[in-house]
Amino acid sequence: MRVLVTGGAGFIGSHVVSALGEHGHEAVVFDVREDPGADVRDRAAVRHALAGVDAVCHQAAMVGLGDGVSDAAEYVSHNDLGTAVLLAAMAESGVRRLVLAGSMVVYGEGRYECRRHGVVRPGPRTVTDLDAGRFEPPCPVCGAALVPGLVGEDAPADPRNVYATTKLAQEHLAAAWARCTGGSAVSLRYHNVYGPGMPRDTPYAGVASFFRSALARGEAPRVFEDGRQRRDFVHVRDVAAANVAALEASSPEGTLTAYNTGSGDPRTVGEMARALAAAYGGPEPVVTGEYRLGDVRHITADSSRLRDGLGWKPEVGFEEGMAEFARAGLRGA
């Protein structure tokens, strides 16, 4: 299979390219890091890149929480306009297979249960509560403490920031393309991806990269809130393997199928920081109580649909992955 990988020189994209080669496929890299003319918003450039391609693995995106709404136009341009241009070119070129780099951010908060009211969906956390160190969202009905659980793909979408909104819009655009063309579209909703080759010292890197960059500078990782926020840290090689599995699978035509892509091993941010610092050799993390408005408290994946449907399973365990990441080099922005 000849696969166009947008963003193929980036963190996740480069691992996808390697995994495709290991499985006997030919990857065509389309990335502005390698060619300034390879902008996914450039319809002529995209059409040219699609020549002779069997499928597209769309990794190119502007990532991260961003800066409120001041950079909303830039996010929409890179993520949504770029996806729309790509899909239009695919429709013209007759390419009918798409795997999209989705994200768990489309859910907003994860799954919560109240002992009295069952499954509930708390709203965004308030500045007043966050300033007071009340980080756990309460039951929206009775105000009681909630028990976090695993979120499934059928949970309602509730994006809490501009980046999250653009990732949801990408899925809707892909679903519309699939309906119009009879193509098959898969969205892999990545959870917290980490591993060798993460970008360092950029506003858009993930929390694992922030901590690893601090350790490389001889500084203690700064853990926001109380460090007890739960995430699903999944290794980049496992994510790359999920992309290959999705490309090779026989997916339904005329629709988009979403798959959570996580390790299935929830950990707290503080736990991750401690494991990474220990593997690196210190210094110990510092819990600051700071917060970022728009962050969610707990979001962890139920990835059983991906395991059952595509036969994928994560291979890199938490301890093994953090030990490797502590030794691995980071890349520039």
Q: Which amino acid is at 232?
A: D
Q: What is the DSSP string of 138-207?
A: PPTTT----EEEEEPTTSPP---SHHHHHHHHHHHHHHHHHHHH--EEEEEEE-EEE-TT-B-S-TTS-H
To which residue do tokens 């091993």 refer? 265
Catalytic residue (choose from 75, 107, 112, 163): 163
In angstroms, the CA 111 to CA 266 distance is 13
Alpha helices in the chain (DSSP H): 11-22, 43-49, 72-75, 82-93, 127-131, 162-181, 207-216, 236-248, 269-280, 304-310, 318-327
* 235's tokens: 């290794």
Does residue 259 have an active-site annotation?
Answer: no
Q: Among candidates 67, 104, 114, which has minimal Cα distance to 231?
A: 104
Which whole-number Å values give the CA distances from 131 to 110, 161, 186, 229, 303, in the listed order?
22, 19, 39, 16, 34
Active site members:
163
